[in-house]
Amino acid sequence: MLVARRISMWSLPAIGCWNPFAFARFRVSCASSQLPVSPKDKTLRTIYNSGVIACLRASSAELAMSAACAALNGGVSVLEIVMSTPGVLEVLQQLLQDYPTRTLGVGTVLNVKDAKNAVEAGAKFLMSPTMVKGIMDDLEGEFLYIPGVMTPTEVLTAYEAGAQIVK
């Protein structure tokens, strides 16, 4: 977890007048980067900083690879490849080799078996159209799982199960 050092407005350099927005930016920039960050937290931070998760669904592995390369070369930093894409895990592994700094995940994960296979293939996050309780239970906080929700009850249920982010 990223923790900002505690400072007061009196420790700010004199800039003529006190600007609370400059103070907020200064506090964020003082965050300690020496604290250990879990892979889950790093993935969550990358998604947050990106602001968008591009979703890729293709009818073949070749088309998926071509579209993913175009998206990643075009500046997409977080990409989800849906599980129904033929050869999704092989595509994911190749993309991880070609784009090691990008955050790649698998979506439309509907069962624990597919979740485990995606994690073993190198996915940094998993997404589902709904909350699959078995995935939440099996991953036990060590991996970023993004369940889909629609109602306030589903949001609360996902939160209580440990979801840090929902779709």
pTM attached to this predicted model: 0.77
N- to C-terminal Cα separation, the chain = 22
Answer yes or no: are the C-beta atoms of 65 and 166 closer than 8 Å. Answer: no
Q: Which residues pair with 107 in a beta bridge?
A: 82
Answer yes or no: are the C-beta atoms of 167 and 147 closer than 8 Å. Answer: yes
Q: What is the DSSP string of 101-121?
A: TSEEEEE---SHHHHHHHHHH
Answer yes or no: are the C-beta atoms of 163 and 139 closer than 8 Å. Answer: no
Give pLDDT tens digits along the chain (167 positions). 333 333 333 333 333 333 333 333 333 334 445 667 888 999 999 999 999 999 999 999 999 999 999 999 999 999 999 999 999 999 999 999 999 999 999 999 999 999 999 999 999 999 999 999 899 888 766 789 999 999 999 999 999 988 999 99
Rounded to the nearest 10°, the torsion over CA 9, 11, 15, 17 is: 20
Task: Report the alpha-carbon distance of residue 32 to residue 55 in Å, rounded.
Answer: 32
For domain 39-161, give the fold.
TIM Barrel (3.20.20)
Tell me if residue 73 falls in helix, strand or coil. helix
> What amino acid occupies position 120?
E
